[in-house]
Amino acid sequence: MAAVSFRNVRKVFGETVSIPSLDLDIRDGEFVCLLGPSGCGKTTTLRMLAGLEQPTSGAIHIGGQQVHELPPAKRDIAMVFQSYALYPHLTVAENIVYPLKKRGVPKGEWPAMLASIAQLLQLEPLLARKPKQLSGGQQQRVALGRALIRKPKVFLLDEPLSNLDAKLRAHMRAELIELHRRIGTTTVYVTHDQLEAMTMSTRIAVMNGGVLQQFGTPDEIYYRPANQFVAGFIGTPAMSLIDGDMQRDDHGFSVRAGGLLLRLPNSALRGDAAREVAIGLRPEDIVLGRGAHSARIKVVEPTGHESIVLMECGGATLCTRIASDVPLAAELRAGQDVPFDVTLARVHVFCRQSGLRQNRDDVNVTAIKRTRDAA
Ligand SMILES: Nc1ncnc2c1ncn2[C@@H]1O[C@H](COP(=O)(O)OP(=O)(O)O)[C@@H](O)[C@H]1O
Ligand SMILES: [Mg+2]
């Protein structure tokens, strides 16, 4: 097991600056997701850690050892890709022990190592099969087994579940969480799927355009997005972001945005908060049926246990959700005006120019999370 650090790491491909300068510290035993839209530099970052790409400049350390000049085989890492390419002519057992052969581990040690991996991943009944006799999920488990049999210091995965169907993906997600809990190996997991990142990570590194936007726990990323990009990227349906103007008086701040006038206490925002802002409201923080504000319903989308409601308010589009078992949910129709309230303690405020969060975040994130319960 080992900690991982990127220090001032830059990667340029020809004319393209893929990663301008990355600093990232992953603790020993963490499960970190690199999350971001396609092309944001996740794979490049992982490949530099694996040794499959050389950084243009900067330093990478694994377990305190500088590795960025070492070849992949000397780094004590294991990697699983989206296309996990098992050897079709070899059995499951032969596939799993393959890396041992390649690295010259004495043959006498293989059976015990194979047995422990097969048990860990529940592959015992499948050891004699060929890959084509396995389901997608079983093949993925064999690929994991092949990667883990050497007990690597760091385990790297690049979108390993994206070839699986939704149900199997959810199942494998749970298996990976459980697997990490048992083996505790430092894991770096690349995904563009925020659900995977939110459910599996100890911390998430959100990237955009090669730049790290925020590195924090799933709760920090969700309840305290560092900037407008993270705010808009995390959360389904996405947070409503509305441009507005902010004024400060003796009592606090008043923000006009769309058809909303929100009054926030002095303690809510930084003293030097910008005047030109965008406010962010998560769907669950807009509460329908009562309150000082009003909006016109545009669309009601039932999804089963809840409905997603799109509304128009002073030119701004608001997205909210309402549980299906609330009587009001059955009455909502497009074209109707509905009153609503906003959970003020959860209003996000961003500087329109820099995109940076303007909220004062000295409150414990767990306290913010519980605001709703208290309200
Ligand atoms: N071998 C390469 N040659 C040129 N450009 C590359 C190469 N690999 C990646 N890039 C560029 O670097 C950026 C980041 O790519 P990548 O790390 O694959 O993104 P992600 O995995 O987040 O989708 C993209 O703009 C991509 O086109
Ligand atoms: Mg990629």
Binding site membership of 42 for ligand 1 (Cβ less than 6 Å): yes
Determine the average pLDDT of the residues in 17-22. Answer: 98
Reported confidence tier of residue 327, pLDDT bands at 50, 70, 90: very high
Q: How far apart are CA 33 and CA 43, in angstroms?
A: 12
- DSSP track, 184-204: --EEEEEES-HHHHHHH-SEE
Which CA distances in Å does 165 have to 38, 83, 137, 158, 191? 20, 14, 9, 17, 15
Reported confidence tier of residue 120, pLDDT bands at 50, 70, 90: confident
Q: How far apart are CA 120 and CA 189, in angstroms?
A: 20
Residue 177 has pLDDT above 90, yes or no: yes
Give the Å distance between the CA of 58 and the centre of ligand 2: 21
- Same domain? For 324 and 202 the reply is no
Residue 227 has pLDDT above 60, yes or no: yes
- Same domain? For 240 and 210 the reply is no
Residue 119 has pLDDT above 60, yes or no: yes
279-314 pLDDT, tens digit per residue, is 999 999 999 999 999 999 999 999 999 999 999 999
pLDDT of residue 175: 86
Binding site membership of 43 for ligand 1 (Cβ less than 6 Å): yes
Q: How far apart are CA 115 and CA 96, in angstroms?
A: 10
pLDDT of residue 1: 64
pLDDT of residue 130: 96
Determine the average pLDDT of the residues in 262-286. Answer: 95
- Which residue segment(s) compose the domain that 123 sits in? 4-223
Lay out the sheet containing 16-26: strands in order across: 16-26, 4-13, 57-62, 65-66
Determine the average pLDDT of the residues in 230-234. Answer: 97
- Same domain? For 323 and 189 the reply is no
Q: How far apart are CA 221 and CA 198, in angstroms?
A: 9
Which CA distances in Å does 86 have to 50, 139, 187? 19, 8, 21
pLDDT of residue 233: 97
Going by alpha carbons, the residue nearest to atom 14 of ligand 1 is 41
Give the Å distance between the CA of 22 and the centre of ligand 1: 15
Reported confidence tier of residue 373, pLDDT bands at 50, 70, 90: low
- Same domain? For 99 and 213 the reply is yes
Look at residue 372 and give its three-state secondary structure. Answer: helix
- Same domain? For 151 and 24 the reply is yes
Average pLDDT across the chain, whole number:
93
Give the Å distance between the CA of 39 and the centre of ligand 1: 6
Q: Is 222 left (phi over 0), alpha (psi -120 to 50) or beta?
A: alpha
The total number of residues shown for the chain amounts to 375
Question: Which of 6, 13, 52 is the pocket-test mutation for ligand 1 (most atoms within 8 Å of CB)?
Answer: 13
- Same domain? For 212 and 283 the reply is no
Residue 375 has pLDDT above 70, yes or no: no
Residue 123 has pLDDT above 60, yes or no: yes
- Same domain? For 209 and 233 the reply is no
Is residue 300 within 8 A of residue 307, CB to CB? The reply is yes
Binding site membership of 38 for ligand 1 (Cβ less than 6 Å): yes
Determine the average pLDDT of the residues in 120-141. Answer: 91
Ligand 1 atom nearest to CA at 190: 21
CATH number of domain containing 154: 3.40.50.300
Ligand 1 atom nearest to CA at 44: 17
- Same domain? For 190 and 322 the reply is no
Determine the average pLDDT of the residues in 250-266. Answer: 93
Which CA distances in Å does 66 have to 137, 163, 188, 214? 36, 34, 18, 25
Domain count, the chain: 2
Give the Å distance between the CA of 23 and the centre of ligand 2: 19
pLDDT of residue 370: 75
Nearest-ligand number for the alpha carbon of 34: 1
Is residue 313 within 8 A of residue 322, CB to CB? The reply is no
Give the Å distance between the CA of 36 and the centre of ligand 2: 9
Give the Å distance between the CA of 300 and the centre of ligand 1: 39
